[in-house]
Structure 1
Amino acid sequence: MPELPEVETVRRTLLPLIKGKTIKKVVLWYPKIVENPPEEFIAALKGEQIETIDREAKFLEFRLSNHLTLVSHLRMEGKYRLTVPQEAKDKHDHVEFIFTDGTALRYNDVRKFGRMQLVATGSEKSSTGIGKLGPDALTPGFTAAGFVRALAKKHKNIKNTLLDQTVVSGLGNIYVDEVLWRAKIHPLSLADKIPVSRVKKLHKQIQEILQEAISLGGTTVHSYLDANGHAGGFQAKLQVYGHSGEECPRCGHKFAKIKVNGRGTTFCPHCQKEYL
């Protein structure tokens, strides 16, 4: 699943390709991608101009004229690419936005899990899944003090706590494994038992790793590509995710892999301390 760095990279690469373009027509090959009634979605977008693209955690927000916002979640394998309407349809192309300049934006999704929802600008938190999120990990709202207070109220393991998006939003399986390794915290540690000093270290590592990943265009482990069709580069920097059975570069002990709430979790049982 694209996590915060991948979604931010898509935003940055897609914006210069479509900013200022006006939608002439929308084609829904798979209407279930859209949360709105299909006919209303198509009619409302005709004539809309794309002003900018914002991001909230793993959600893209296409800001349109007339105070409308298209909220898009890529889920597991969603991708956007700029093309022309005449290009043959790929079997995994599900939505097409045809622009007045003769180009087209296509949404491709192998698993069809991604979702789009057209809402009034300003209503995103009340009408979409954005309203359930904790602070975005790279915004000023994600403070060390607030993070300490939030974890003190969570009597469950830190891996699940970071994945549930209510304490901090934007992290997925890859980056949670990485930040816990860097902060030397065992994934099964109870969130409310982790010392304040260690929580502050974790807070710092979350922000540093996400920024590092963005600088390298995200992480491509399976199928992630940016809007230009380029893979990310941070996978070469991963220290723990995907390295089960290998030696920990910090202490030399072998990484272990377990399941935490069904998610594969790699960690070092020697240098990642468990707080219970």
Structure 2
Amino acid sequence: MKLKNMAILGLSAGLFFLSGCRDNNEQLEESTGVAPTTFSKTDLSNLPPPPPGVREEFAQDGIDIDKIRVEYFSDGQQVDPIADLENKYPVASLVKNPINQSALITVRTFSSEEKYLQYGEQNGLKFRETKAFNESIQKYAEVNGLVQMAEAGEQLPDSYYAFEKQQYQTFFGAFSPGWLRVYDDIIPYGSNKYVMSPFTPTLGFWFFDNWNNKIGCYKRQHIYMVEHLYDKKFFRKHLVSLSGWGGSTVMFWGILGYVNNRVESMILF
């Protein structure tokens, strides 16, 4: 939803904001052999001043927004900043340095779905399992006429949710590893709309107040988790894959602004 009384900065910001609360993220980071030491403002180019709420949210997670550095990779090769992540199978993660409150955000894109899936295999991220899960759900929804029902704002039958739960258990296990509190604003100013949990690891279809999953941010409450976000219901049209440790906040702002108000389905594991 709208960020009240603040201008939402678009893709030209060159940075999305993904705050984290763990010192290391070895599973997702490129092996550079260089620790994320001190990042100065000169490491950041073309970044406009963030809205006060964004700065304060990062400060609560122990990160100085002026000490965030972003690195971009395309098919494993480091590249210049990528202004538009959409349709490039983006994967993003953050490493925080609590000593000086700096952080390194790594953004990866891939030229093909197969390279994206291979990256998931190499890092134990179950991207192929996610693809298989999505396809099984999409086929079930199409065969049973559920796509039209969901688009019309109708309540889905219990049989769908039973099937979704069974498929989740098949591909990912019985429960997800944590909780998410979903908000309709870019900054969580008490606009909590939904809670994803180990028992509800997918984002449900909600139509009250014309919200319909128009998400602005979410707060993580877990040890470690991967989140896949989609533009369409039934896990169609992948927007981005994110990951993080511990209690942290993901805000759809800056380069991740294209995700704001578009997440109609989501899965975590």
Q: TM-score, normalised by structure 2?
A: 0.30
With a CA cutoff of 8 Å and minimum separation of 6, indicate the structure with the bigger relative contact order: 2
Identify the structure with the greater strand proportion: 2
Identify the structure with the greater helix proportion: 1
Larger gyration radius, structure 1 or structure 2: 1
Q: TM-score, normalised by structure 1?
A: 0.29
